[in-house]
Structure formats: C-alpha cells, structure tokens
Amino acid sequence: MTEETAATEQPQPERVSFFTLNPRKIGRSRLIRALAIGLCIVSFSILPLWRLLWYFPAYGCADFLPTRDVHGRFRAAWHWIDGKEIRIYPAPGVSTKDAETIRMGVQEMMDEVPLDFTVKAMPMPPEVLKAYRESLITKRDGQEMISYNRLRARLVALRDGDPHADMIITTQAMQECSWAHGMASFTSGVGVLVEGFVDTHLGKHESCHLIGYQYHDSLPLFIVGYPWEGAPWNRNTLMVLYGGNNELSPRARDALRYFWRGMERRSGKKFLRSG
C-alpha cells in the first residue's frame, strides 16, 4: 500500500448489532418519532390500506402461528379450514337448545361473509368428552373451571385426517379469562362459550373470531373512508366487547371478505360461496 493510498482511505466505523445498542444513546427525538409512528399505526388507517393488509394479510398474520398440541408438537392447526366444517358441542349440563341457538348465530356469520362452511350442532363424541374432562381444573376454593389452553391442545391432537373447528358450550368459566363470555381462535380452530351468556349474538361474535377476525372494533381507533362509527368507547357493533348490536360493522365485514379472498388466491382453494 502506497502512502498516497493510505492517506485517502478512511477508517470504516465498526458495525454495531441492533441488539447491543444502548437505548440511552438512541436519542430522544428518535424515540418520540418511533412512538408517534406506532401510535398512528394503532390509531388510524384508511379504507384501501385496511382492505389491502387483510388481503395479504398483514393484519391477520398472527392467525397462522403454529399451535402446540398435548404431545408438545407444533401444528399448523389453522388448516382446520380445509374441512370447511364447524362442529358445536354442548358439554354435560348444557341443553341441546343452547347448542342450536349458538349454531344459528354461527350460521348467520357464515351467511354474511359468505363462507361455504357447514355448521352442525351435535352431541360430544367420546374422545371430545374425554378431552373436555381432562381440561377441567378445580381451584383452591373448590370452584371448577375450564382451561381453554388445555382443551385447545387436546382437541388439536384429535383432528388428524378430519379437519374441522370445534366450539364447546360449557357451564364453567374459563381459567385464562374468567370474565369472558367466550373465546375462539382461527389459529387453533377452537372456541369455548359460557352457558350463562348463550344467545345468537355470542355465537356470531365468537365465530367471527374463529374465522379470522381477531380484533374488536375499537382498534384501529379510526379508519378513514368508512361511515362515522362514533367514538371507540361509544360504539355498538357486533365486534365490540359486550356490545348489544347484532350487525357486523363495515370494517369487520371488509376485513373478513378480503382475508378470505386472499386465502383463496394463496391456497388455490374455494372457501367463499359463489354469487
């Protein structure tokens, strides 16, 4: 290396891994900008972007996370959709009338999207009843509760060769969320509904979560392009917590329809009804 070359070469700064950055040296202005951007993403969207990010789907990416079964194996349990069937079971102590009420609510949701799925209310098969009983826990005060996580792990393991979703109506509150009226997940294809709150609204609300809409209508706070929905704390649509309205909001309807259109394009399979 000549003296002239050495003089023109500048020392390269050492690259620092993101994971070793000192937060105190990032700078207040950068932190404020990052927080502002994050707040905008959570708080606001626009209609074309909302539809686009459900189609691909960025908003629904968590729907495709693996689910761990009772044997500790990770499964792509969301493939329950390949069977295009939702089964509703009344647990011991729950009437068949309640199961039929939930079936009607779930069917309303399928008709509204519209998905070409079969919805059945039926007695619990022995293997499902066994999984249900193994998922019951008793607290120190003697209260019996159902563990959603335990039940999910067991039901997912039972589905080999028979893809479908399971929705169980139970007399017990859920251990993971004792105040909830129900809980359902597209990721696992499992729903649990509490008997004391059974109506068609509950069936429709939880089946909306089951088929991919894991949000409530409070986030994003506002989506420009839809009719004014009111302040987030005053909204009354199907997909708000403890709402009394049975109508699916325009944002939720679009989310589901574009989610399933994207699903059809990526999988090459037909899920939506024709016409």
Write down the domain spans for the chain.
61-267
Mean pLDDT of 37-65: 85
pLDDT digits (tens, 9 = 90+) for 75-123: 999 999 999 999 999 999 999 999 999 999 999 999 999 999 999 999 9
For residue 146, give both structure tokens.
Answer: 């159902």
Task: Give me the helix-helix angle, 200-210 and 96-112, nearest 10°.
Answer: 50
The identity of residue 218, as a single letter, is S
- Beta strand 136-138 with 144-146 is antiparallel
List the one residue out of 229, 183, 190, 171 whose CA is nearest residue 86. 190
Query: 149-172, pLDDT tens digit by residue?
Result: 999 999 999 999 999 999 999 999
Evaluate whether the domain defined by 61-267 bears CATH number 3.40.140.10: no
- CA dihedral (268, 271, 274, 275) positive or negative: negative
